[in-house]
Structure 1
């Protein structure tokens, strides 16, 4: 129980001060959102430039054709002229159809998604202001921190039963909820409105990951090798395909957690698909913001992309789940060197196999938008991203095996060093 060591006046004064800080931060956030709202989005601007160029090109093509026809009317057969007219006409029709397709499937969905993101930020900021005003008695001293459960203080312990992917799906609702969730802890007024928005994003990512894992049908096999399988499918409310890797790995869930979560700064040592990966901002003990740069692909044809994502983990007994999603981080703006990509809901799940703690079932979820300037065939993306997911798993497995060998050799060397010398 929290002990109150200050008078009621001081408590109310502190609460009012905390509320003023929160209101100030969220108001600045609202102003920032309003300042970023543009009457003409960048994707629509690019589309208009494309349409303008297409119109000019077709106009010039028709002018050149008509001029050449009038100059060579006597020596050019009428049949050839008609064929040329048909070709130009069909080109105009196909071009217009492509423009409509791009507008309907690329431009409008991205604008809609951008508007929804701004609406969520505004809603989150308004909610925080309302909470601070309606409940001034809440302050940093009266609200104990309730971070995510860590591997050490998990409430379920290691006695919980595990029964494969099915058991994980059946226990989805048993995961400890994120801060600021309806089933979770109270709002911490000491944290900024921006951090609260990040935690809300993390909560959304976990909900979407749970929804993805609960679907067992409709998956298309993209790649399969031994006990490793990569599948994909579309989900309502998620842009682009979701890729899922399922495999077994000779490692405990704690070893996987240490590499993927605690060893974020060492990711480039084993993950060949990234050239930079680092921690940007720690929100709670179980939520942070990371920055990563993907390596070039297809022999340099696909340039490097960088990503800024919020990630968080939850633990249910001996099942570990980490979810992540792209966020806008004000302290790290996009740079000209890289194309800023956008990650949808992604992450990983690790669960021991039956009663063997040294072997784990492992799932990796990937959903990403590489922000190509031109349309790219889906088959090309399926091939490239399924290979990326495979390489990530191979790198993780190899890295853990090397760590185990290093520890084993160190132990063996120490034991030999302590052996008595026989004369």
Structure 2
């Protein structure tokens, strides 16, 4: 069992990594899924043998409220249909914590329920916010779960210049689900999960 990391340098490294992803040229991405109001792209990850996914869509709300629904806290478990439990394991400061959470099985349980322990950090970025995270190898794995691992992930939420009450939400996700899974099942699940994330979030913000 690894100890908790030193939060400050990990937060800085994580933020810088996400900004690098944010600045990747558009021609590096290939579309994985597109709906009426959300697009998902992917490219090979440099962290593991899977994909780095980029997802983007406009969300009709202010930046702070959107990020409050995404980051660890009282809102997330209420609306995210994939997440089945969430506990804050430790808090370093107001915008920095370690959380343990579990996700539901997917694709008729071809992908069994997963458990993650993530370091989470939220900070200002340009005129908006960045909420990012990375998994830690910490603690015993819960019964009936496979321990997944999130390589650097994050959400950039930037208000639209011509309508600050709407925000452009851009996510970067690279999750190693681990276990014996066909890659085609992982790819299908990831693209669908990301579009569902946006539709669930939009519904929650309108409620």
- Please tell me whether the aligned partners of residues 265 and 279 of structure 1 are also in contact (alpha carbons under 8 angstroms): no
Confirm or deny: 8 A CA contact 1:265 1:278 kept in the other structure: no
Kept in 2: contact 1:341–1:368 (CA 8 A) = yes
Counting strand residues as a fraction of each chain, which structure ranks higher?
Answer: 2
Equivalent residue runs for 1:155-304 within 5 Å: 194-196=4-6, 198-216=7-25, 217-261=27-71, 264-304=73-113
CA offset digits 1:181-231 (Å, max 9, x no partner):
xxxxxxxxxxxx8451x4433333222211111112211101111231000
Tell whether 2:132 aligns with 1:323. Answer: yes
Give yes or no for contact 1:202–1:325 (8 Å, CA) kept in 2: no
Is the 1:321–1:350 contact (alpha carbons within 8 Å) kept by the matching residues of 2?
Answer: yes
Return the structure number with greater helix share.
1
Matched, 1:391 2:200: no
CA distance in 2, matches of 1:234, 1:370: 15
Q: Per the alignment, in what secondary structure is the counterpart of residue 328 of structure 1?
A: coil
- The size of the alignment, in residue pairs, is 206
TM-score by length of structure 2 reads 0.91
Query: Hey, what does 1:346 align to over in structure 2?
Result: 153
* TM-score for the superposition, normalised by structure 1: 0.46
Contact 1:346–1:365, Cα closer than 8 Å, also in 2: yes
Contact 2:157 2:167 in 1 (8 A): yes
Task: Tell me, in whole angstroms, the C-alpha distance in 2 between the residues paired with 1:200 and 1:239.
Answer: 26
Q: Distance in 1 between matches of 2:190 and 2:74?
A: 23
Q: Distance in 2 between matches of 1:288 and 1:322?
A: 11
CA contact (8 A) 2:85 2:102 kept: yes
Instruction: Report the 3-state secondary structure (helix = DSSP H, G, I; strand = E; otherwise coil) of the residue aligned with 2:108.
Output: helix
Deviations 1:27-50 (A, max 9, x none): xxxxx77xxxxxxxxxxxxxxxxx
Tell me the distance in 1 between the aligned counterparts of 2:206 and 2:181: 40
Distance 2:188 2:4 in 1: 37
Q: Report if aligned partners of 2:35, 2:195 keep a CA contact under 8 Å in 1.
A: no
Residue number in structure 2 paired with 1:336: 143
Q: 1:375 to 1:400 in 2, by over 3 A?
A: closer
- Within 1, Cα distance between the matches of 2:101 and 2:8? 19
Give the root-mean-square deviation of aligned CA atoms.
1.9
CA distance in 2, matches of 1:328, 1:307: 9
Structure 2: where are the runs of 5+ without partners? none
Among residues 309, 325, 335, which one is paired with 2:118 in the alignment?
Answer: 309
Decide which of 163, 166, 169 is 1:359's aligned counterpart.
166
Q: CA deviation at 1:268?
A: 2.2
> Equivalences for 1:30-179 in 2 at 5 Å?
none
Contact 1:265–1:277 (CA<8 Å) still a contact in 2? no
Q: Where in structure 1 are there 5+ consecutive unaligned residues?
A: 1-31, 34-192, 403-423
Deviations 1:98-141, CA, capped at 9 Å, x for gaps: xxxxxxxxxxxxxxxxxxxxxxxxxxxxxxxxxxxxxxxxxxxx
Q: 1:239 to 1:345 in 2, by over 3 A?
A: farther
Equivalent in the alignment of 1:95: none
Q: Following the alignment from structure 2 to structure 1, what is the Cα–Cα distance between the partners of residues 49 and 16?
A: 16
Query: For 1:334 and 1:384, how far apart are their aligned partners in 2?
Result: 22
